[in-house]
Structure 1
Amino acid sequence: KAQLQLLVTVTSCVITCQLHEYLYVGAQRSWSEAQRYCRDRHTDLATVSNMADMKRLISESSGNRNEAWIGLRDQTGANRTWYWSLPGVEFNDSQTNWHSGEPSDAGGDENCVIVRQDLKWIDVHCKVLLAHFLCYDGEQFFLINQPVRWLEAQRYCRESHTDLISGWNQLQDPQLKDLLSPEAAGTNIHIGMFRDTWKWSDGSRSSFRLWNLQFNMDKYNSGQCAMAVFDDGGRWMSGDCDQPKPFICYGDNMILIKEKMKWEEALYYCRDHYHDLVTITNLDDQRWVEKKVKDASTPFVWTGLRYTCTLELWFWVSEEEVSYKNWVSGGPEDDCDMSGAMETGGQHQWVKKNDNEEFNFICSKA
């Protein structure tokens, strides 16, 4: 009965619900001064995780044609880190397919990767001009025959499809081998793999980059900072961090409550003091929540995910459909009196817990 009542009294979260918001600040500051301002008054300088974030950032800055700092800075003396171009696909050191003798890092600045017909990886300079590159649209692959450099290939794929092919799973797909069989013999092909020394101010692992075509990807450890250029579609360029510029902060629309409560107690606490228990509808929401749960004092953190025996389904108390899922494998069977929590450590996957257990929890603010 209580479950049915909870289902009926879900709170509505319209499509525009977001776990973070961007704020354009017109006052001109150096990058470090802007970082301090954002941390004092909001959360941090802007982190951008994908094109959807970028569109929101541009919208927030509507009418402003100046360059504005974002929260990305090139480290000095740092090791380069490999990334995949497609947001949400993480590079895994245990899943690699390097050609013999690779990565060679010839000249000490080979920061992009190509493949040949055998799909073995070879590192190259990002400015190398190649006749072929591979795009992906979420369902199928496209071998494009057009001489471009890596950044040009990335722009084409993002505008015409989804992104450059990215990740171990995509590059192992049998469909891809069939596509490459006749046409790609002996050719070099751009893929969505790169490395750099750029880091986000808030420590985010986001691999998303939106550099303009003049950006030098072979340069690293420059100590420079990134800015969005609004008269170039928001594309990024790098510059001297001491230059005063407008900047963009972001603010969290969620809060970690470090009190231990049962699930239903947490639900009503959030509704009384904020908006609701947090809802996670996609990978980007997952990433934003992960940042919060790392500071929890319990091994798991309650979310707004609930199981109803009456209808035999999981639902978000915000009325969102459970389309994106991140369950840990091998968990218990669905059962009455269960709610969804996130791991504080590890991979931050979701677990099914008896709702009488007491954990920290995350409330959405709007």
Structure 2
Amino acid sequence: MSQTSFTSKFVSIGQRSIHVRLSEPAPPPNAPTTKPPVIFLHAVGSNSSSWVTPLLMAPQLAQHRQLVLFDSDGHGLSPWSGRDQMTVVDLLHDLLALLNELQFRQVAIVAHSLFCHVASLFALNFPARTDKLLFLHPIRYLTDAMRGALLSQASHIRSMSPGNSPPSSPLSPSMMSRMTLPPIRPASTPAALSSIAVTTSTSSISRHSLQTNYSAQSLIHRLVLSTHPSAYAATQKALVRCCFSSPLASEYSAGSSSTSPSGLNLNVNVTPQHCEMLIVGGEEDDLASPELLRAWVEEVQLQRGQHEFESGWGGQEVWRKGKRSRTSGSGAGNGSGVKEIILKDVGHWACVEEPLQMSRILLSWGMRNDQ
């Protein structure tokens, strides 16, 4: 069986440059077994490196879907644009522009953490271009206190940032294509971001990962430090404003202006109804707890009029160190169902804490026939 490999390049979006990794060789576009590409959206303070290991463990997926990993503005190897007043509309436009530049008419989307808002709004506004969705640890709800703390944290990081223009990367495209770890930005890093790197790598993972998985802690720490401080602050502010503690608490909910000047629907209370959704969480995730994920699943089930499956594909199972145990799932069997998987001994970073489990989930989800 051939192994998955990636080629790296920079894609120009207007005046900005985005670092992209593409799996190769790409599946034949007209082959009957070829499915739409999968694009991966990393978390705030992360980058495309977080997805590499689980994808290398599932080489069959790249034989049927081209895999597209990219570093968001100011993350990883993508230079920071200086958009300090960034909004979720900017991030949505970035994703759309990248897909247009790559000439992808339809994609499946995998998103992690706060970037699940971008994936959800993309599917809501461009349903014909969305094949299916996988939300990994989606942060949809935040208490008012947590929301305020994260916004204050972002403002503090921005106030300590040394500037907007990180030095250009000295790495050649051939070197970047072989990288599985993100480079540390040589720009000076505010003490606040260094502190966040330590906190994120220790408190956002499970107890099991903290005690046994030192490589996961090291990678998460490095991912955060590879982010431009101003980009971290601006992106976090933009996406935290999408979260809510009640149906009307979000700045982009039905209780406020839910349409952008460009006509985009920004109502984050509305979940895309047309495509299959898989929601993956961690048993020890404090930001996207199993209870909150289950509440979202039940909400979507009610909207779609779905019923419980008695048995089904891997999306209704939890991989527990080689053993499987049933968890709840739902769907009408018509490709527009919603299911959830809760992973044991996992916090907020399943793709790093348990890459083998994530590879199985991604393969099952990516290869499943929806019709």
Q: TM-score by structure 1 length?
A: 0.26
Q: Which of the two has greater helix per residue?
A: 2
Q: TM-score by structure 2 length?
A: 0.26
Higher relative contact order (CA 8 A, sep 6+): 1
**Greater C-alpha radius of gyration:** 1
Q: Which of the two has greater strand per residue?
A: 1
